Amino acid sequence: MSSAIRLVGADQMYFSGAALRGGLRVYIGLRDLDDPEKAILRAKGIKCFTMHDVDKFGIGKIMELALDQVNPGRDRPTHLTFDVDALDPTVTPSTGTPVRGGLTFREGENAITSWKP
C-alpha cells in the first residue's frame, strides 16, 4: 500500500477518488481554507500542516512529521506531490491561485531535497 504527502496551495482541495485512506495522506502548506474545505479534510481524516506550522517548526521538521504520519516504518513506497501553489506568489507570480504567505523558494527546495522515505 502506498501513501502520499502533498504540498498544496489554497485551491487544491479536489479529491479524485484515489484509493488512499485519509491517514495515508498529508497536506503541507495550507492557508486560506474555508469551512467546507476544513470539513472535507476532517471527514477524510487527512493530516494537515498549515503555513503557521511550517513557520513554527520549520519545513524540515514538518517533512519528518509528515513521513511519520504516512510511513512511520519507512518501509512502504511513498509519493511526494509538489503543487506550485504551495509557494508564495512572490516566488511563483503566474500561479493560478495566488495566496500570500506560502512557502519560500528555499522552503520548497528543502521540502523536496529532504524527502527521504
CATH number at residue 61: 3.40.800.10
Q: Is the pTM of this model over 0.85?
A: no
pLDDT of residue 79: 84
Bridge partners (DSSP) of residue 25 are 4
74 pLDDT exceeds 80?
yes
Higher pLDDT, 3 or 116: 116
How far apart (Å, rounded) are the C-alpha atoms in residues 103 and 87? 4
Query: Cα(112)–Cα(42) distance, rounded to whole angstroms?
Result: 26
Q: How confident is the model at residue 110 (pLDDT cuts 50, 70, 90)?
A: very high
What mean pLDDT value characterizes the chain? 82
Q: What is the structure's pLDDT at 33?
A: 87
Nearest to 91 by CA among 108, 104, 110, 109: 104
Among the ranges given (16-25, 26-35, 107-116), the one the predictor scored with the smallest mean pLDDT: 16-25
The pLDDT assigned to 20 comes to: 58
87-93 long-range contacts, Cβ below 8 Å, gap at least 24? 87/9
Phi, psi of 47, rounded to the nearest 5 degrees: -75, 135
- Cα→Cα distances 17→21, 44, 74, Å: 10, 11, 25
Counting the structural domains of the chain, the total is 1
Q: Which grid cell sits at 42? A: 476532517
Task: Indicate whether 18 pLDDT > 90.
Answer: no
Residue-number span of the structural domain to which 32 is assigned: 3-113
pLDDT at 89: 93
